[in-house]
Amino acid sequence: MTYDRIAEVGIDEIGRLYIRPATTSFEHIYRAAMQVNWDVSARRLFSPKPREWTYLDWFKHMIAAAVDEYGTELRLTTDTIWTAIPVSLRAEIQGVATGRQMCASHRQKT
């Protein structure tokens, strides 16, 4: 498993959630048929505009797609930029990400 920092999490002008990794490119993630895509020019993963799923669901799904297809775990840091993300959603994402990272750390110790 490799790791990369999440440089930015945001919602774009048409309502799609995106995650911009610090260094990794995911140009072929569409092959997973998970409705997660890569914007080459903006260097970020993006989801469709939520209909049945919430933004939190899409965040978790995009993180899982990166692990499943590339073996790369994307992690939030204190330097992650939040663009057009409501405070409540940011708190939910940080809670999920912190719990996931703690679980991963625990698995590595056992």
Question: Residue 99: its pLDDT value, please?
Answer: 66
CATH number for 54: 2.20.20.40
Model pLDDT for residues 54-69, shown as the tens digit of each residue: 999 999 999 999 999 9
Percent above pLDDT 90 for the chain: 83
Question: Residue 101: its pLDDT value, please?
Answer: 53
Question: Residue 22: its pLDDT value, please?
Answer: 98
Domain that holds residue 30: 2-109
Number of domains making up the chain: 1
Model pLDDT for residues 61-101, shown as the tens digit of each residue: 999 999 999 999 999 999 999 999 999 999 999 999 876 65
Using CB atoms within 10 Å of the CB of residue 63, give its burial: 0 to 12 exposed, 13 to 18 middle, 19+ buried.
Answer: buried
DSSP per-residue codes, 32-54 = G-SS-EEETTTTEEE-PPPSSS-
- Is the pLDDT assigned to residue 103 strictly greater than 70? no
Average pLDDT, the chain: 90
Using CB atoms within 10 Å of the CB of residue 95, give its burial: 0 to 12 exposed, 13 to 18 middle, 19+ buried.
Answer: exposed
